[in-house]
């Protein structure tokens, strides 16, 4: 059996929670929603492209391709001893039972540059590493700790070396100088590895755009980490918790498969080792709550402090031994009234003490009068829109900066005053290498300018993207002829414009609460909850009317959306999960099929699918299949808005029929 090293990925996991070292790597035993194969996440973030571009800045570098730790260690040692000056990619270094593979190591005699490449946005004009009230900003600290661990291992493996540490990241303050930089790198997923295919001319493009990747010396911040106690669940933040003292303990626990006792913190809320009772796999999350607080599986499912929505004092409650929701009192949540529907504290209190009989609308809370007052402001026809977007690490065109937003798809449903519903428009711009934003905006304008009806979105995303595209229009070196017209359209439907979009997420926050949602207002949580209690949706959508009476651009004639088993409707977003798997393949199963309490960012599956269309080496058949699934995926999001509004409107006007 090969030696179980504490690697840099295991070190980062332990800083999140040392107990996770026991659960990780046991994919046949414990559920892990952060799939050990991070191919899709890295693809969506641009990690493969950034990593390859970074190595191309060192054309004489030698890559250590050996997968075996022992072989990689031997080859690294041989190459380090063979030359005074050498550049290595993925060299391996070990000290005791610690091991790191360094992204890029530059050796010049006894001087060594240790370079960690990250597909994380950085701005050299405003670096934002050091904080005002803290030596390292929380968002940067995990990256600095990662490099500190590497320096600790490498400095012990090479005790006579002078080591400098760097992060290399896409610089948002720098613009590309050539078109198509991101298309220089295509991805091919092999059985056990990933191959980056570099196009002809890529080396010249990389050389001309070297400044896009900022090489940032972080020695002062690494020193801070190495000289200070690490902060992690269970840390006493004393001398015993310095990196040099704590990593041997973690390495020993990992090597001997010993579970470090859990410490409950607010970070447990998003634990990736959580699973449902009916699963074939075990739930590390439930094990921890049992060991730390004595809660059974059923008691955990009844609700804990970790489930409390948008509550910032979870750690304070846990420190007092308060774990169950039922233990929270009105001193812990100081309820404040709000004239505009539910306040945040009222929403939290509903989650804690439940819905009073005087408020109960049939298993849920709904402020019908407040909703009706909002509805009076709306103009028919009602337009439901949803965008699918992503950010690209390496720019499409000259003049663009890293991580500019790409809007590649929208869906558009219309609800008419007479009750008719139709899936009216859609657009998908996914041709590799083409910048879609202005065509996207032009198509959206054509879809919405036929009348002055109210436009609806869910949360702030669509508004943010449109404002960003406006900035791109204002800054582009090659403005389209209809630039001014497109900018006026953005101003009209965003923020304070005369036709500013209405945010249904805010409506949900103010007017609707169902215990099933655990306080959250994600459309993925609200729709299933609404369907469990809406007699209108059950009666209407248990009939095969979608794609027939309700026109659809993607679904077959007579599609049935309401499917119930023993009176419980199937979550319509189960269909989305199925579609996402079609888009992404089985590699993404753990990213998409999340258990209760762990939520994948909405739109994440679509962004990953778009990344596949842009960067993967796909056949025409695979490309067509992904595009078809994307169209259905986005259509479901806007139809979800339609169904939720239908139920709310029915509850607000119960005598209308």
Segment 462-487, tens digit of pLDDT: 999 999 999 999 988 889 999 999 99
Q: Report in angstroms the alpha-carbon separations of 145 from 117, 137, 216, 226.
A: 14, 12, 15, 8
Q: What is the pLDDT of residues 292-328, one digit of tens each?
A: 999 999 999 999 999 999 999 999 999 999 999 999 9
pLDDT at residue 630 greater than cutoff 50: yes
pLDDT at residue 1 greater than cutoff 70: no
Give the C-alpha separation, 385 to 523, whole Å. 13
Q: What's the pLDDT at 42?
A: 64
Q: Which two tokens stand for residue 184?
A: 């220089």
Tokens 């070396």 label which residue? Answer: 161
Residue 405 dihedral angles phi and psi, to the nearest 5°: -70, 140
pLDDT at residue 596 greater than cutoff 70: no
Q: Are 98 and 247 in contact (CB under 8 A)?
A: yes
Give the C-alpha separation, 117 to 365, whole Å. 49
Closest C-alpha to 237, from 225, 250, 228, 224 = 228
Domain ranges for the chain: 37-227, 329-360, 373-503, 513-652
| Phi-psi category of residue 301: left, alpha or beta, with phi > 0 → left and psi -120 to 50 → alpha | alpha
Give the C-alpha separation, 541 to 579, whole Å. 20
Arithmetic mean of pLDDT, 112-126: 95
Could you tell me which residue, 618 or 78, shows the higher pLDDT? 78
Q: Of all residues in the chain, what percent are helix, strand and coil, respectively (each to 5)?
A: 45, 15, 40
Residue 585 dihedral angles phi and psi, to the nearest 5°: 85, 175
Closest C-alpha to 507, from 460, 458, 466, 464 = 458
Residue 65 dihedral angles phi and psi, to the nearest 5°: -95, -10
Q: Report in angstroms the alpha-carbon separations of 422 from 190, 363, 540.
A: 42, 31, 15
Residue 138 dihedral angles phi and psi, to the nearest 5°: -60, -35
Give the C-alpha separation, 263 to 431, whole Å. 48
Give the C-alpha separation, 657 to 650, whole Å. 9
Helix (H) or strand (E) holding 404: strand 404-415
DSSP 313: T
Q: What is the pLDDT of residues 18-59, one digit of tens each?
A: 999 999 999 999 999 886 445 556 666 678 899 999 999 999
Band of residue 588 on the pLDDT scale cut at 50, 70, 90: very low
Give the C-alpha separation, 230 to 138, whole Å. 13
Q: What's the pLDDT at 38?
A: 54
Arithmetic mean of pLDDT, 118-130: 93
Arithmetic mean of pLDDT, 228-256: 96
Beta strands in 584-649 (DSSP E): none
Give the C-alpha separation, 400 to 178, whole Å. 9
Q: Which two tokens stand for residue 45?
A: 């973030």
- For residues 117-155, one letter each, b for 16 or more C-beta atoms within 10 angstroms of the residue's C-beta and e for the rest, the string is bbbbebbeeeeebeeeeeebbeebbebbbbbbbbbbbbb
Q: What is the pLDDT of residues 61-87, one digit of tens each?
A: 999 999 899 999 999 999 999 999 999
Task: Give the chain's mean pLDDT.
Answer: 91
The length of the chain is 657
Q: What's the pLDDT at 179?
A: 86
Give the C-alpha separation, 28 to 494, whole Å. 48
Least confident of 13-22, 120-129, 556-565: 556-565
Q: Are 382 and 645 in contact (CB under 8 A)?
A: yes
Q: Are 443 and 410 in contact (CB under 8 A)?
A: yes
Q: Which CATH code for domain 373-503?
A: 3.30.420
The residues near 371 (Cβ < 8 Å, ≥ 6 apart) are: 507, 511, 648, 651, 652
- For residues 191-217, one letter each, b for 16 or more C-beta atoms within 10 angstroms of the residue's C-beta and e for the rest, the string is eeebebeeeeebeebbeebeebbbbbe
Q: What's the pLDDT at 23?
A: 97
Q: Are 506 and 458 in contact (CB under 8 A)?
A: no
pLDDT at residue 137 greater than cutoff 90: yes
Collapsing DSSP to helix, strand or coil, 47 comes out as helix
Q: Which two tokens stand for residue 201?
A: 């001319």
Could you tell me which residue, 597 or 652, shows the higher pLDDT? 652
Tokens 């009076």 label which residue? Answer: 376
Could you tell me which residue, 191 or 234, shows the higher pLDDT? 234
Least confident of 59-68, 177-186, 225-234, 254-263: 177-186
Band of residue 577 on the pLDDT scale cut at 50, 70, 90: low
């Amino acid at each position: 059996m090969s030696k179980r090293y504490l690697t840099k990925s295991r070190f980062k996991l332990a800083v999140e929670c040392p107990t996770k070292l026991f659960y990780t790597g046991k994919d046949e035993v414990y559920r892990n929603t952060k799939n050990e194969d991070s191919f899709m996440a890295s693809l969506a973030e641009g990690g493969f492209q950034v990593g390859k571009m970074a190595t191309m800045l060192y054309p004489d570098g030698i890559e250590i391709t050996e997968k075996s730790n022992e072989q990689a260690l031997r080859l690294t040692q041989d190459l380090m001893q063979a030359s005074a000056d050498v550049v290595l990619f993925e060299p391996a270094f070990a000290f005791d039972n610690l091991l790191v593979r360094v992204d890029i190591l530059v050796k010049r005699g006894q001087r060594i540059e240790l370079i960690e490449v990250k597909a994380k946005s950085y701005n050299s004009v405003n670096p934002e590493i050091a904080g005002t009230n803290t030596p390292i900003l929380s968002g940067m600290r995990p990256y600095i700790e990662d490099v500190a661990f590497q320096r600790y291992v490498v400095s012990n493996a090479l005790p006579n070396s002078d080591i400098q540490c760097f992060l290399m990241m896409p610089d948002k303050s720098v613009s590309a100088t050539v078109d198509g930089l991101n298309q220089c790198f295509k991805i091919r997923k092999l059985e056990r590895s990933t191959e980056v295919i570099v196009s002809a001319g890529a080396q010249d493009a990389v050389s001309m755009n070297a400044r896009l990747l900022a090489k940032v010396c972080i020695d002062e911040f690494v020193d801070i980490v190495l000289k200070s106690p690490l902060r992690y669940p269970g840390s006493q933040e004393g001398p015993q918790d310095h990196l040099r003292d704590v990593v041997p303990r973690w390495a020993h626990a990992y090597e001997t498969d010993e579970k470090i006792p859990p410490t409950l913190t607010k970070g447990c809320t998003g634990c990736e080792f959580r699973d449902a009772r009916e699963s074939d796999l075990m739930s590390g999350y439930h094990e921890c709550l049992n060991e730390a607080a004595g809660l059974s599986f059923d008691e955990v499912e009844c609700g804990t402090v970790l489930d409390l929505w948008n509550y910032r004092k979870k750690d304070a409650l846990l420190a007092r031994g308060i774990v169950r929701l039922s233990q929270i009192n009105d001193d812990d949540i100081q309820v404040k009234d709000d004239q505009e529907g539910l306040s945040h504290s009222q929403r939290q209190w509903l989650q804690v003490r439940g819905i009073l009989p005087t408020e109960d609308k049939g298993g849920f809370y709904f402020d019908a009068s407040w909703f009706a007052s909002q509805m009076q402001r709306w103009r028919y026809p009602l337009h439901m829109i949803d965008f699918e977007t992503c950010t690209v690490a390496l720019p499409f065109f000259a003049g663009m900066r890293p991580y500019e937003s790409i809007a590649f798809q929208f869906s558009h449903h219309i609800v008419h005053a007479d009750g008719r519903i139709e899936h009216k428009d859609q657009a998908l711009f996914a041709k590799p290498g083409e910048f879609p934003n202005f065509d996207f905006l032009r198509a959206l304008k054509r879809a919405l300018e036929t009348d002055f009806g109210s436009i609806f979105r869910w949360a702030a995303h669509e508004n943010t993207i449109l404002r960003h595209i406006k900035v791109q229009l204002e800054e582009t070196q090659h403005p389209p002829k209809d630039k001014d017209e497109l900018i006026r359209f953005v101003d009209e439907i965003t923020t304070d414009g005369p036709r500013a979009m209405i945010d249904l997420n805010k409506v949900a926050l103010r007017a609707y609460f169902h215990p099933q949602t655990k306080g959250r207002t994600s459309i993925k949580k609200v729709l299933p909850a609404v369907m469990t209690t809406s007699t209108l949706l059950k009666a209407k959508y248990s009939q095969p009317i979608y794609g027939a009476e309700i026109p659809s651009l993607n679904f077959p004639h007579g599609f049935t959306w309401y499917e119930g088993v023993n009176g419980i409707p199937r979550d319509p977003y189960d269909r989305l999960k199925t579609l996402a798997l079609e888009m992404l393949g089985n590699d993404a199963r753990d990213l998409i099929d999340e258990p209760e309490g762990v939520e994948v960012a909405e739109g994440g599956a679509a962004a990953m699918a778009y990344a596949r269309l842009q960067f993967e080496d796909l056949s025409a058949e695979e490309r067509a299949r992904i595009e078809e699934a994307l169209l259905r995926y986005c259509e479901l999001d806007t139809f979800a808005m339609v169904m939720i509004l239908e139920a709310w409107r029915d509850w607000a006007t119960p005598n209308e029929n």
